[in-house]
Amino acid sequence: MANRDGFSGKLGFILAAAGSAVGLGNIWRFPYLAGQNGGAIFLLVYLICIFLLCYPIMVGEIAIGRSAGRDAYGSYTKLGGKRWGLLGLFGILAGVFILSFYNVVAGWAFGYFLNISFGDLLNESDYASYFGGFVNDIVNLKSAEGITKSNLIFSLLFMVITAFIVGQGIQKGIELANKIMMPALYLILLGLIGYALTLPNAMAGVRFYLVPDFSELRIQTVFDGLKQAFFSLSLGMGCLITYGSYLNKDQNIPSSAAIISIADTSVAFFSGLMIFPLVHFLQYKLQITGVATAGPPLIFIVLPQIFQEMGPVLGRIMGGAFFLLICFAALTSTISLLEVHVAYLVDQHKMSRKRVVWILALLIFVLGLPSMMSQGMVPSLNKLLFYRGQDFLTFISDMCDISLTLGGCLVCIFVVRTWKIKNMNVELNYGNSNYQNSFLRTYINFAITYICPVLLGILSVLIILEKFIGLEVLF
Ligand code: PHE
């Protein structure tokens, strides 16, 4: 395809793909899922899922994208015919829904960043009710210092920043933004870990996080580990196909995919290494227990309390740094999500990138409103009758998780039955002439042909049943 923008080289691609992978999934979701699933044992299951199941699929997706050189829909259609194009569309649609709720949570983090750094958030006395008010009342909250607390405004701003970056194109927008934000993110994270490890009782947190207790292993741990691994690596919805399509033939895909997986996993790992010492410090300080299992609000309710304990100056610096870290992580992911949809419209419908970006951003923002209003503002969205009384945001996020694992299973079927493993291997040989005779090739081929589709198929069906009829009924 003529005149298609592309990454400038290996570093640009790796940073952008790692930026897509590193996100709220690593810093918000991974720690709370680990907290709920026994800490170290969850980490272990997660690592197995990443390297056994996800890595080969990542290699496959990038190869599909680079071979076809088109957006997700176009790539499947080019390599497998119109029927497979549906899988591309399915992924693009999943991406639209992910971005719709993701942007809401990113808006919360952005609001916390502004209100800790420049507002009065650290003067609150009850962070659970603060968070409840913040997510519930989406328009009216006004802080004493004049900074708005409206999460409607924060998510709108977040979407505007995302659209602005994507509108600049691949090299001048996405690549540049990632080259700045990714190193900054690592620096902030390492700084925060260094600090967290010096706090009293930090080692109890490290133990909880690193010493597995096998009696905590449950089927739920496996479900959560798998869905988290897929979400975290941005797999199963065409994101890496799209990024792969901007990659040059002289780049080594298996090694890039390994670096991306390690970069992503290390951020999740380090987030746990920062959060659990902080959480155990708080438990010690306030003489309470069970903080680690707080669930989705973990970072919004527990962490501000910790920053408050640090005093007004240090708390503002550490708290501001922490929420800035989350904003950077979220932004590198929202731009990749929006790029999937933009690439589709630009490639397939020859629309102008600049225009399409703003239209899509607005539409997806509006699509996120029910998720935003489901946190208490609208009772019928807060307790969905058809979804066992859970809220709409949880429902959408669960449906997206299911689409990603199912999508991963279908990617394997596509490669094996339609595109053919031998064509994938030819593609992977470009930029890596030793690949053909390597053990890695044998493993990736075996995993994509047998292990991944079978395990992902079974687990996806079990997860669907679990979501709709409940685990108690299932087992
Ligand atoms: N991987 C991102 C995260 O961990 C989320 C994401 C999913 C981004 C799918 C793009 C595509 O936060």
**Dist CA 154 CA 162 (whole Å):** 12
How much distance in Å is there from the Cα of 112 to the middle of ligand 1? 21
What confidence score (pLDDT) does residue 474 get? Answer: 65
- The pick from 103, 325, 333 for probing ligand 1's pocket by mutation, whose C-beta has the most ligand atoms within 8 angstroms, reads 333
pLDDT in tens, 317-340: 999 999 999 999 999 999 999 999
State which ligand 1 atom lies nearest to the alpha carbon of 333: 8
* Gap from CA of 239 to ligand 1 centroid (Å): 9
Q: Which residues of the chain have pLDDT under 70?
A: 1-3, 140-146, 472-475
Of 289, 320, 290, nearest in space to 304 by CA:
320
What is the whole-number distance in angstroms between the Cα of residue 461 and the centre of ligand 1?
22
Q: What spatial distance separates the first Cα and last Cα of the chain, rounded to whole Å? A: 51
User: Does the beta carbon of 375 sit less than 6 angstroms from any atom of ligand 1?
Assistant: no
Of 158, 175, 139, 148, nearest to 372 (Cα)?
A: 139
Q: What is the number of the ligand 1 atom nearest to the C-alpha of 26?
A: 4
Spatial neighbors of 450 by CB under 8 A, at least 6 apart, are: none
CA–CA distances in Å: residue 189 to residues 267, 325, 443: 8, 7, 33
From the CA of 253, how far away is ligand 1's center (Å)?
Answer: 20
- Which of 400, 376, 444, 437 lies closest to 63, judged by CA? 444
The CB of 397 under 6 Å from ligand 1? The reply is no
431 Cα–ligand 1 center, Å: 27
Residues 24-37 as b/e (b if ≥16 CB within 10 A, e otherwise) read bbbbbbbbbbbbbb
Q: How confident is the model at residue 293, as a pLDDT?
A: 83
Nearest CA to ligand 1 atom 7: 234
> What tokens were used for 207?
């133990």
For residue 337, give the ligand 1 atom closest to its CA: 10
Q: How far apart are CA 424 and CA 446, in angstroms?
A: 13
Domain locations in the chain? Answer: 10-469
Residue nearest to atom 11 of ligand 1 (CA): 234
Amino acid identity, position 264: D
* Pocket lining: 301 vs ligand 1, CB cutoff 6 Å: no
Provide DSSP, 300-341: IIIHHHHHHHT-HHHHHHHHHHHHHHHHHHHHHHHHHHHHHH
Ligand 1 contact via 30 beta carbon (within 6 Å): no
Dihedral sign of CA atoms 25, 26, 28, 33 in order: positive
Pick the closest to residue 47 from 222, 205, 165 (CA basis): 222
CATH architecture of 10-469: Orthogonal Bundle (1.10)
The residue whose C-alpha atom lies closest to atom 10 belonging to ligand 1 is 234
For the Cβ of 231 lying below 6 angstroms from any atom of ligand 1, the answer is: yes
Rounded to the nearest 5 degrees, what angle is found at the Cα of 142, between the Cα atoms of 136 and 148?
A: 90
What integer pLDDT is reported at residue 296 of this predicted model? 86
Please tell me the distance between residue 333's alpha carbon and the centre of ligand 1 in angstroms.
6
The angle at the Cα of 458, spanning 456 to 459, to the nearest 5 degrees, equals 65
Is the Cα dihedral 10, 15, 16, 21 positive or negative? positive
Amino acid at 434: N
List pLDDT tens digits, range 229-260.
Answer: 999 999 999 999 999 999 999 999 999 999 99
Cα-to-centroid distance, 445 and ligand 1 (Å): 25
**436: helix, strand or coil:** helix
Ligand 1 pocket test: which of 102, 181, 265, 411 has the largest number of ligand atoms within 8 Å of its C-beta?
102
Own/partner long-range contacts of 312-321 (Cβ < 8 Å, ≥24 apart): 312/122, 315/116, 315/122, 316/116, 316/117, 316/122, 318/192, 318/195, 319/112, 319/116, 319/117, 319/121, 319/122, 320/113, 320/116, 320/117, 321/188, 321/191, 321/192
Closest CA to 360 of 332, 381, 385, 340: 340
Would you say the CB of residue 98 lies under 6 angstroms from ligand 1?
A: yes
Q: Report the distance separating Cα 152 and Cα 375, nearest Å.
A: 12
Question: Please, are residues 43 and 224 in contact by the beta-carbon 8 Å criterion?
Answer: no
Element holding 439 (H helix, E strand): helix 439-446
For ligand 1, say whether the CB of 234 is within 6 Å of any of its atoms. Answer: yes
Following DSSP, what letter does each residue of 219-265 receive, concatenated?
HHHHHHHHHHHHHHTT-SSSHHHHHHTT--TTS-HHHHHHHHHHHHH
**Degrees, nearest 5: CA angle 100-393-128:** 120
Give the pLDDT of residue 101. 97
Tokens of 349: 């419908």
Determine if ligand 1 sits within 6 Å of the CB of residue 256.
no
How far is ligand 1, taken at its centre, from the CA of residue 231, in Å?
Answer: 5
What is the predicted pLDDT for the residue at 2?
47
Angle between helices 312-349 and 176-196 (to 10 degrees): 150
Three-state secondary-structure class, residue 142: strand
Q: How many angstroms separate the alpha carbon of residue 22 from the centre of ligand 1?
A: 7
The finding on whether 277 has its CB within 6 A of some atom of ligand 1 is no
pLDDT of the residue at 382: 95
In whole angstroms, give the CA distance from residue 38 to residue 225: 12
**C-alpha to C-alpha distance for 453 and 416, rounded to whole angstroms:** 10
